Chains A and B, each alone.
Chain A
């Protein structure tokens, strides 16, 4: 599904990613861990097409297409979803209007008719249950005045609505209390299936108790320095990132 080869990226001439290789297959969950400043969020931004980063070398294939040639909106329409570390507020724009626009853009991309009002409402009701999001959140403007936890739940709700092929969760656990963390993780687990894949970016092992990964990668100074099964997360938690730095 996703194949990253020797990916280098920089911002204002400073190289952040220094040769990333990663392959993700349908049905898999990959966790990317690493200390602050190792390039985790940069990787998420580069994959989704944020133009403040320059890709200087390497290749990314997504469903047999050269991902780096596509605009951010076309990547999204093809099924790449980013759960933002800091979801953005858009005052005055209702969640309903926002989601409907997003879904219809996606449908247009796949040569489908716009969704009918009744189907849309049904989908909203259904997806709200999956992620246990309170009804009133969707009556408000996009993230406006949401608490930290509500914003993260709202990201997962949008993910449920858009049904992506590849979901990238960028520090979705940061700022969440234990109950919100459980709800968010449950939502992600319910959305997992044989045809989609998830990349979980996190500092802590805690989230991975709820979203159990198939692979854990450690990113350090712009490179993946260690890849293994889920037990690597526990080892990291125990020994700290210094253990990686020493190697």
Chain B
């Protein structure tokens, strides 16, 4: 492990900050960053009364239970008996099936062979600047292993995992799905997280063997900075999966509403034959937020298929970019790709950009790309007004309708929260 970190660190020292993205990046002083945040780093409050009332208001709008509110806001809470027992039964059920779901540090200690075999196999430390940084300093994260032939009976969520809180800014997630297995994995939280950490550089690696299916859903709502663009999280994440075996499938679904700057491209390498890669994304930017997000679909296997649906929503003075690569290798015959990129603008000071890249080396590939840019129409809002619906609610309805194709891909309870989240993120953005 130390060896892996050191190699990564030496490599990182030789690298430079990337500057190709359509982002306005401030310089980051990497010496100033605290690389290991012990769980008590977050400020602890005695009671909810001390917490920012704006935060509490948002919690209430999202309908988050009181106990959970306390945990999220960093109020000292005694262990909630109920949730401990839930966690225990949860773990027992998984253990019976042979599913391993634990923190990364536990995995290093208990399953060193598995970790060694797969870590860095999809995202090598040489991959990019932030991946190298993460590989050198990652603090903890999640490890998930689904044995052959097992359909994981529940959605695996970091929320349920013991020790999930305060895993820090350099998380690493590794998911391995053996032959004929299935898992749906949820990451993130719809509640706004105020965190002292400025930089989050996480890595997610997924390996899907023959006939395996992995569904990875994210709802990201890190602190985006205030209305004037002061503060906020920089979220630079490398997420990549490999459909290693034939007939395997990896599906990414993401709802991105937070962070001052988001830089991430959940990607899939379609190595096996007849594999499927999917990417469904909604990215919302408001005020001074910047997002540069999209996907890469690397088709290597024959008859591999990919679908990309990206919905960008920009408001305020924000910038929202889709950047995607579809690559078809010379020997990959019968490849199909469909890409749809839609942008919705609110107001006239925001920007939406689309940067699709296509590299096709096999003549039999069928690649489709559709893109639209639209504004919420005055006439749509007036139509809602005339039915008694005020403008703010009308925008919420229209936005959720626009993002429906993606929200439908989320697990049920996540989808409901994500809908509310979209509405809240855009509150006050139309005068």
Interface residues, chain A, CB within 8 Å of chain B?
A: 48-50, 52, 71-73, 76-77, 81-82, 84, 87-93, 97-98, 101-102, 105-106, 109, 141, 158, 162
Contacts and interface: CB of A to CB of B under 8 A. Distances in A.
A89 B382 CA distance: 12
Nearest to A82: B386
Nearest to B403: A92
B388 A162 contact: yes
B41 interface: no
Nearest to A144: B401
B380 interface: yes
Given A77-B388, A93-B400, A162-B387, 19 more contacts: A48-B386, A72-B382, A76-B385, A76-B387, A76-B388, A90-B397, A90-B398, A91-B401, A92-B404, A93-B398, A97-B397, A98-B387, A98-B397, A101-B397, A102-B388, A105-B388, A105-B390, A105-B393, A162-B388
B388 A109 contact: yes
A76 B383 CA distance: 11
A90 B383 contact: yes
B25 interface: no
Contacts of B390: 71, 73, 105
B34 interface: no
A141 B383 CA distance: 14
Nearest to A50: B382
Contacts of B377: 88
Contacts of A48: 386
A35 B98 CA distance: 78
Which of A72, A89, A162 has the most chain B CB within a 10 Å cutoff? A72
Contacts of B386: 48-49, 72-73, 76, 81-82, 84
Contacts of A109: 388
A98 B385 CA distance: 12
A91 B383 CA distance: 13
A76 B384 CA distance: 10
Chain B contact surface mostly? helix
B400 A92 contact: yes
B417 interface: no
A101 B389 contact: yes
Nearest to B387: A102
A166 B390 CA distance: 20
Contact of A106 (B379, B380, B385, B388): B388
> Which of B378, B386, B388, B389 has the largest count of A CB atoms less than 10 A from its CB?
B388
Closest 7 CB pairs of A and B: A92-B401, A93-B401, A72-B385, A76-B388, A102-B387, A92-B404, A88-B383
B379 A88 contact: yes
Contacts of A50: 382
- Among B385, B386, B398, the one with the most A-chain Cβ atoms within 10 Å of its Cβ is B386
B398 A158 contact: no
A71 B382 CA distance: 11
Interface residues of B, number: 23
Given A92-B404, A97-B397, A98-B397, A49 B385 contact: yes
Contacts, number: 71
Nearest to A105: B388
17 contacts: A72-B385, A72-B386, A76-B385, A76-B388, A84-B386, A90-B398, A91-B401, A92-B404, A92-B405, A93-B397, A98-B387, A101-B393, A102-B387, A105-B390, A106-B388, A109-B388, A158-B387
Contacts of B388: 73, 76-77, 102, 105-106, 109, 162
B389 A91 contact: no
Contacts of B398: 90, 93
Contacts of A71: 385, 390
B145 interface: no
Contacts of A49: 385-386
B402 interface: yes
Nearest to A83: B386
Contacts of A97: 397
B389 A102 contact: yes
A90 B390 CA distance: 15
B383 A73 contact: no
A82 B382 CA distance: 11
A77 B389 CA distance: 9
Interface in B302-316: none
Interface in B360-386: 377-380, 382-386
Which of A92, A98, A105 is the most central at the interface, judged by chain B CB atoms within 10 Å of its CB? Answer: A92
A158 B397 CA distance: 17
Nearest to A77: B388
A91 B402 contact: yes
Contacts of A88: 377, 379-380, 382-383
A73 B394 CA distance: 11
Nearest to B405: A92
Contacts of A77: 388
Contacts of A87: 383
Nearest to A92: B401
Contacts of A76: 385-388
B389 A105 contact: yes
Contacts of B384: 90, 98
A152 B385 CA distance: 18
B131 to A, nearest CB: 36
Contact of B401 (A73, A105, A141): A141
A49 to B, nearest CB: 7
Interface string B400-427: 1111110000000000000000000000
Contacts of A106: 388
Contacts of B393: 101, 105
Given A98-B397, A101-B393, A90 B380 contact: yes
A76 B389 CA distance: 8
Given A98-B397, A101-B397, A92 B387 contact: no
Contacts of B404: 92
Contacts of A162: 387-388
